A and B are shown apart, each in its own frame.
Chain A
């Protein structure tokens, strides 16, 4: 669901380390990508490529697993049996996506255990939008429709990237997302075209979520050396602004057609440039929340940690009979 290549990029002044790489190997690597061939786990790759991809896929995986929490919370309270079943299927998909992505990241050398430990210690990030709560069923619907929609924009771009295992995972993920998007749209349309109370609930949820949605793709990319290299290596496939603009193009008309409004008076498409204009999101607030001070940061991590700790005895029991084992990275 929730991939975002850009939320927590390397600081732009970090060294690229490229001067330490073997120029012949680097040239072969870059030529392969330029030809449109994918990179596979046992290929030589520059340290920066490995580092940035690990960070990106790991954050994507965390976002899936943490992102399933605000929707998961509504399974028991979803209106009607069919919606409960569908909400449950969607949440299960998201957790499955996390597993696919952890495995893809693992092929780059970081174990799944290290990633999960970094998550519950707050060392690794996940998509910032999940640090906000879903106080009503309509909030859950906004995630199902619009956050998933944003994620699909990102993921379709990333699926054309250069790393084989990530592409394979994303192909599968995108196929499953098609249901999420339609399911979310259906749920939002149902409320937006329903009774007055239903409409108001939907509008209130959209108003709550809009600022977070506008930050979903990250701040405008500064064209740094890193951005240029990561685009050449097909790690980053589109700029944050391009993704945001594509999202607005596709979904604002769909929001308007069901009688909902967007809580931003400046929001309008400039037909001359093809670009949407909008109120700049509050990036200071974004930074504050991503660094731990959001309404749900503590809860999200605590739930994940409880799952980890409460499952420890099961893992111990299952591993008890094992004699000597050696860690082997997944292959692809």
Chain B
């Protein structure tokens, strides 16, 4: 039996040498969701990293804990990794749109579109896609806007026509808007308590006075 300094460990009654654990299936601990956060009101949503979760609601909870626990946040989006269409990565001075294989030529709806063209698009089986750009390798994908398309691959082609002039674009992600679980504006107060826990801030720990006082009390050599 394990004999620990911690009485709680001893209560677990853990065996000294257990048999080797068997390998688990790759999805034993769930699939991944990619998470985007909004640092402050009106800022674009920015990629922060993945979480492992059995479903979107749980992914949202994990993401809130993981990515908004310590820093200001006003919104969170989570998306199953498998629902994201990505371009290859290109160099820091290039455009990932140039690396896209030539696709169907897109006939041109601007992002702020007329209702008539919009309903035409929807009746043609098109849906909204959110588009994200990576500006520099090692940084994070940032939301740039929406396009309408019938698939992720087509959304990248449409995005090329709408956002293709921007430089540099190292990598592009397209996500069907319906696949994103988004924090609700009405639930904003869930972000309000983050700054309350001052004991988690480096600035709350001021020791210099105590050190100085201690030094002054020492007998001078």
Contact surface of A with B, Cβ cutoff 8 Å: 32, 35, 37-40, 42-43, 73, 76, 82, 85-86, 89, 92-93, 96, 99-100, 103, 106, 111-114, 116-117, 120-121, 133-135, 164, 167-169, 172, 175-176, 178-179, 181-183, 185-186, 189-190, 192-193, 257-259, 298-299, 302-303, 305-306, 308, 315, 318-319, 322, 325-332
What's the Cα separation between A150 and B54 when bound, in Å? 36
Which of A112, A182, A303 interacts with B52 by CB under 8 Å?
A112
CB A17 to nearest CB in B, in angstroms, measures: 24
Contact with A along B185-206 (1 / 0, CB 8 A): 0000000000001011111110
Instruction: Give the total of B residues in contact with A, Cβ under 8 Å.
Output: 71
- A89 with B137: in contact, given A306-B14, A327-B27, A329-B81 (CB under 8 Å)? no
B181 at interface, CB cutoff 8 A: no
Contact stretch, chosen from B122-130, B157-165, B209-217: B209-217
- In the assembled complex, the CB of B67 is this many whole angstroms from the nearest CB of chain A, namely 8
Q: Closest Cβ of chain A: how far from B169's Cβ, in Å? A: 13
A178's nearest neighbour on chain B, judged by CB, is B202
Cβ A39 vs Cβ B137 within 8 A: yes
Contacts of B6 in A (CB 8 A): 73
B: residues with CB less than 8 A from A are 2, 4-6, 8-9, 12, 14-18, 20-32, 34, 47-52, 54-55, 58, 65-66, 69-71, 81-82, 84, 86, 88-89, 91-92, 137-141, 170-171, 173, 197, 199-205, 207, 210-211, 213-215, 218
Specify which of A43, A112, A259, A332 is in contact with B29 (CB 8 Å cutoff): A112
Contact of A299 among B4, B82, B139, B210 (CB under 8 A): B4
Determine whether the beta carbon of A303 is less than 8 Å from that of B14: yes
A111-B26, A193-B211 known; A181 and B202 CB under 8 Å? Answer: yes
Q: How far is the CA of A114 from the CA of B26 in the complex (A)?
A: 7
